């Protein structure tokens, strides 16, 4: 029986890898320009990290974690997001004694056990950024600017940035109480999920898909209406920065985001699509997280962008056209098996000179070797017969123009390396 990949996972095939590599290199260059450095943390962590970090009233922790016991009976979880691991590592290695703010980025697979659908996987990839140690609202602005510039660098169109303030431990509990007061009289109309959210995390009712719940919650108080002075001023400053750098945004008072650790600024970005899988990235400030995870009292802000969603959107917006960079390939054919040793020698020599060279390894006849050369998109073909073996003069055929020219070995290498390369594409 054929074994298939696990449900909710996907393979990135060799013919699509250029898309991923293009995105990865663009993003990496840009974040490094903003002085962020890469952190690589394990893809599994002790489960407690996420219980404490992400929050046990969130859907991610409540329903979506890949948690298992290892052979030493420890509870292990495949990371559902990247922030908790980076913050854990930052604390564990006392990076807070070094330069502040600590500016880090990460890239890699994340794991969430959710119902797979287009743009929603159980293993997916996030590229994220974290800035730890500064409470400056202009840093929020800069982080937002960076995120939008990342999307712009990829050429994404119809970008929509939505921002909100979700308050802090001072004003959020007051808001929560006001919200619960309002919801009390509507409790019976709420769906069962929102009834359980009512006690634990009533703000999450904004995320409910039920029309009745939406109608109810939209008429209730918004967190932005109950911000304390500190949060209110912070939000004003963030918007001031966005205006200074002429970054367009919308305030979405309904946005609460799925993770518990956010304080003050929260944001999300989409690119043209509507609906539940439309977000290509999001993040926010998390001023209590470093302390919550056992570190000093330090602020933090960050975001993560979803690579699968980006690839999907770029495909839809046809942004990969012309992004495939082909290299000059040289195929070396041998007329018969007698010339194989010379073919091997020449391929090996060209490769030592950084030339993309290859030969047949399927015992093909000469004609089939030429067909193969065409199929793999060889730019040049050199055919080795007994004459070439004895004369060491090689005829290079340009497959596009069919032009042929003969060279001794050193000239051949120079030509293929691009020096005086009249054959160059």
Whose Cβ is closer to ligand AMP: residue 60's or residue 350's? Answer: 60
Distance CA 104, CA 101 (A): 9
For residue 401, the minimal CB distance to ligand AMP (Å) is 45
Residue 49 beta carbon to ligand AMP: minimum distance, rounded to whole angstroms: 15
Q: Both tokens of residue 144?
A: 């937002």
What is the closest distance, in whole angstroms, from the C-beta atom of residue 147 to ligand AMP in the complex? 11
Tokens 């690579």 sit at which residue? 307
Give the separation between CA 380 and CA 286, rounded to whole angstroms.
56
Residues 6+ apart with CB under 8 A from 233: 137
Kind plus residue range of the DSSP H or E element containing 183: helix 172-184
Of the pair 79, 197, the CB lying nearest ligand AMP is at 79
Comparing C-alpha atoms, which of 306, 303, 310 is closest to residue 86? 303
Q: Which residue is nearest to ligand AMP (CB)?
A: 306
Smallest distance, ligand AMP to C-beta of residue 206, A? 15
- Alpha helices, DSSP H, located in 222-355: 229-244, 289-292, 307-316, 340-352
Which tokens is 49 given? 């990290």
- Look up tokens 């990235």; give the residue: 281
Nearer residue to ligand AMP within complex by CB, 141 or 281: 281
Of the pair 78, 183, the CB lying nearest ligand AMP is at 78
Contact residues toward ligand AMP (CB under 6 A) are: 81, 112, 114, 119-121, 124, 126, 258, 279-282, 304-306, 308-309
DSSP state of 36: -
Given the complex with ligand AMP, which of 202 and 284 has the nearer CB atom?
A: 284
Find the shortest distance in angstroms from Cβ 88 to ligand AMP. 16
Strands 102-111 and 37-38: parallel
- Cβ-based nearer residue to ligand AMP, 155 or 258: 258
CA 8 to chain centre: 17
DSSP string over 234-264 = HHHHHHHHHHHTT---EE-TT---S-TT-EE
- Kindly state the smallest distance separating residue 72's Cβ from ligand AMP, in Å: 29
Residue 53 or 186: which CB sits closer to ligand AMP?
53
229, 128 contact by CB (below 8 A): no
Min separation Cβ 80 and ligand AMP, Å: 8
**Closest of 6, 4, 86 to residue 49, by C-alpha:** 86
CB of 313 to ligand AMP, least distance (A): 9
Name residues whose C-beta falls within 8 Å of residue 32's C-beta, 6 or more positions apart in sequence: none
120 vs 356, which CB is nearer to ligand AMP?
120
Q: Please, are residues 251 and 274 in contact by the beta-carbon 8 Å criterion?
A: no
In the complex, what is the shortest distance from the CB of residue 312 to ligand AMP, in angstroms, rounded to a whole number? 9
Smallest gap from Cβ 264 to ligand AMP, in A, equals: 16
Q: What are the φ and ψ backbone dihedral angles of 110, each rounded to 5 degrees?
A: -125, 160
Nearer to ligand AMP, 186 or 264 (CB): 264
Centre a 10 Å sphere on the Cβ of residue 68 and count the other Cβ atoms it contains.
12
Q: Which is nearer to ligand AMP, 279 or 334 (CB)?
A: 279
Q: What is the C-alpha to C-alpha distance for residues 301 and 143, in angstroms, rounded to an integer?
A: 8
List the structure tokens of 308: 């699968």
């Amino acid at each position: 029986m054929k074994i298939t990949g696990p449900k909710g996972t996907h393979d990135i095939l060799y013919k699509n890898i250029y898309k991923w590599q293009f995105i990865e290199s663009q993003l990496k260059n840009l974040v490094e320009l903003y002085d962020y450095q890469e952190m690589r943390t394990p893809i599994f962590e002790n489960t407690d990290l996420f219980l404490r970090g992400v929050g046990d009233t969130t859907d991610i922790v409540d329903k979506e974690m890949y948690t298992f016991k290892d052979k030493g009976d420890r509870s292990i979880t495949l990371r559902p997001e990247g922030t908790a691991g980076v913050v854990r590592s930052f604390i564990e290695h006392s990076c807070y004694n070094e330069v502040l703010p600590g500016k880090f980025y990460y890239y890699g697979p994340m794991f969430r056990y959710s119902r797979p659908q287009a743009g929603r996987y159980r293993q997916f990839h996030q590229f994220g950024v974290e800035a730890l140690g500064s409470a400056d609202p202009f840093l929020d602005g800069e982080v937002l600017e960076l995120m939008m510039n990342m999307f712009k660098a990829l050429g994404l169109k119809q970008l929509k940035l939505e921002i909100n303030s979700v308050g802090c431990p001072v004003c959020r509990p007051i808001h929560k109480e006001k919200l619960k007061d309002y919801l009390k009289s509507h409790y019976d109309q709420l769906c069962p999920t929102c009834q359980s959210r009512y006690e634990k995390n009533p703000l999450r009712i904004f995320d409910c898909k039920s029309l009745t719940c939406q109608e109810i919650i939209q008429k209730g108080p918004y967190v932005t209406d109950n911000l304390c002075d500190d949060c209110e001023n912070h939000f004003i400053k963030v918007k001031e920065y966005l205006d200074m750098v002429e970054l367009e945004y919308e305030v979405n008072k309904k946005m609460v985001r799925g993770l518990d650790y956010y304080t003050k600024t929260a944001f999300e970005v989409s690119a043209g699509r509507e609906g539940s899988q439309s977000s290509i990235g999001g993040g926010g400030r998390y001023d209590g997280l470093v302390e919550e995870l056992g570190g000093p009292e330090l602020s933090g802000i960050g975001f993560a962008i979803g690579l699968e969603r980006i690839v999907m959107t770029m495909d839809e917006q046809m942004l990969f056209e012309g992004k495939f960079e082909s290299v000059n390939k040289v195929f070396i054919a041998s007329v018969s098996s007698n010339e194989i040793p010379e073919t091997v020698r020449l391929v090996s020599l060209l490769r030592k000179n950084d030339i993309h060279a290859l030969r047949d390894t399927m015992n093909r006849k000469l004609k089939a070797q030429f067909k193969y050369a065409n199929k793999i998109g060889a730019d040049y073909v050199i055919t080795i017969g007994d004459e070439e073996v004895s004369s060491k003069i090689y005829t290079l055929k340009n497959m596009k123009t069919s032009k042929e020219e003969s060279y001794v070995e050193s000239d051949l290498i120079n030509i293929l390396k691009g020096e005086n390369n009249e054959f160059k594409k």
